[in-house]
Copies of this chain bind each other. A is one copy, B any other.
Amino acid sequence: MRECFELRDVDAGGRIGELTVPRADVTVETPALLPVINPNLDTISPRRLAEEFGAEILITNSYIIHGTEDVREQALEEGLHDMLDFPGAIMTDSGSFQLSEYGDIDVTTEEILEFQREIGSDIGTPVDIPTPPDVSRERAAEELETTQERLEVAEGVDTGDMLVSAPVQGSTYPDLREEAGRHADATDLDVFPVGAVVPLMNDYRYDDMVDVVAASKRGLGADAPVHLFGAGHPMMFALGVAMGCDLFDSAAYALYARDDRYLTVRGTRQLEDLDYFPCSCPVCAEHSPDDLLALSDREREEELAAHNLHVTFEEIRRIKQAIRAGNLLELVEQRARAHPAMLDGYRALLDHAAQLESSDPVSKGSFFYTSHESARRPEVLRHHERLERLAVPDSLFLTEGEPARGDEFEASWRVEPPFGPFPRALSKSYPLTAEVPERTDRAALEAAAEGVARLVAANPETEVTLGHRGWPADVLEAVPEDVDLVDLTVEGD
């Protein structure tokens, strides 16, 4: 077990954890949002971030500090905590982003890590190579090699009790990301940013982002604290957390405020397009959109930044509460409807249902079936796998209706879409206590048919009859041929 990170609660791939940051002498509860502080500009002061918004950790850029003489001197003299006046943990980025934007920076990993330690950073970052999406495999592999060398260099630097992050690169190649994750995990570094996903998010490629994170996570293992680097829009936090990300950073709250952009979990709005505030944070409870438009630029920017932070931290709390209650995927279901690209992201997430299943708790509150996508959730997959291990009599009636009377069958099991068959004794156990809509759908029926097929495949000797409520012919095609079918909706059958 990694010393600095402990898991407290889990739901799907998401978790509540505690990141112990020894140098700051604080414990940060994850999922956590790290507001990005530009040391040259500050819309909302770090002190206010801590006291008004509950920020336990923030991130600032050591490369900018290093390159701005007066700020550098001040940071070296006072230390970051005093300079910024922030009581929580401070993570520092290294300039890799500048590298990706401008192609060149003038510090090495040794230099920047030593500098970060000197200015009192609590979590430092080496200079990795943020390889963009869709480059040639050759370039991705080569740059990954460089990143990995830098991580090895970082291991050798005397960083005291500063934690050090180990970025995971590999562009859009899942095998490279997985290998990068495995390599990073094997170093003695502490925090694991999944790097270079910003271009994917900027292009609304949430599905590709999910694939990249899933691959990185396979390499990293469950006990690694994972930072989705550059992901600051609250619309996608639930999806990111469900994949297993623990840390998010937001520059968006301030950058968007400067452009009169207003964040919501359903997407970004221009202030001038709003007639009503879909929010009741202290800013929106006090002001109408017209009020804000009437403010000076500087005041409006501050109010918008405060709103943007409120919705951002609100979503983090909502996600933590969902993990505690065991309904994180229900929240992801809702967020998936914020944009078609978010739906792509959720559909991609469900491609990794087996991976999520490995961490998903065996029992939770109540499974809510709320879309066709719900049929592909890890709980359904797990039930199907369980079906292969259940003891089964020689003749079995699987039915959506009443148990068989008489002794034609040795047992009657219930059938409920999307799960398929199960012995009545399991009716009271998760996830078979699910709430499902009365108006079922084809995805649920297909999943139920798949459950029947799995059960039959595992028990070729058993004679199985299926009593179904009018399943369409092409759904029934998934049921093995030797299963007798009874349509319970046909009278006299």
Contacts and interface: CB of A to CB of B under 8 A. Distances in A.
Contacts of A314: 278-280, 284
Interface stretch (A91-99, A213-221, A435-443, A455-463): A435-443
Contacts of A275: 320-321, 324
Nearest to A275: B324
Contacts of A438: 207, 341, 344
Interface in A188-236: 207
Tell me the number of copies of this protein: 2
Given A337-B337, A343-B371, A438-B207, A281 B281 contact: yes
Interface string A335-370: 111111111100110000000000000000000111
Interface stretch (A243-251, A326-334, A392-400): A326-334
Given A343-B437, A344-B438, A370-B337, A281 B280 contact: yes
The 7 closest A-B pairs by CB, nearest first: A278-B318, A276-B317, A280-B281, A280-B314, A337-B370, A280-B310, A333-B337
21 contacts: A266-B334, A277-B317, A278-B314, A278-B318, A278-B321, A279-B280, A280-B314, A282-B282, A330-B337, A334-B334, A337-B371, A340-B370, A340-B436, A340-B437, A341-B435, A343-B371, A344-B438, A371-B373, A372-B372, A372-B443, A442-B442
Contacts of A313: 280
Interface string A409-441: 000000000000000000000000001111101
Interface in A159-212: 207
Interface residues of A, number: 57
A339 B285 contact: no
Counting chain B CB atoms within 10 Å of each CB, which of A284, A330, A334, A436 scores highest?
Answer: A334
B336 A370 contact: yes
A255 interface: no
Contacts of A369: 340, 343
Interface string A269-298: 000011111111110110000000000000
Contact of A344 (B280, B344, B439): B439
Nearest to A273: B325
A311 interface: yes
Given A336-B370, A340-B437, 5 more contacts: A276-B317, A278-B321, A337-B371, A339-B435, A344-B438
A334 B337 contact: yes
Contacts of A274: 321
A463 to B, nearest CB: 29
A3 interface: no
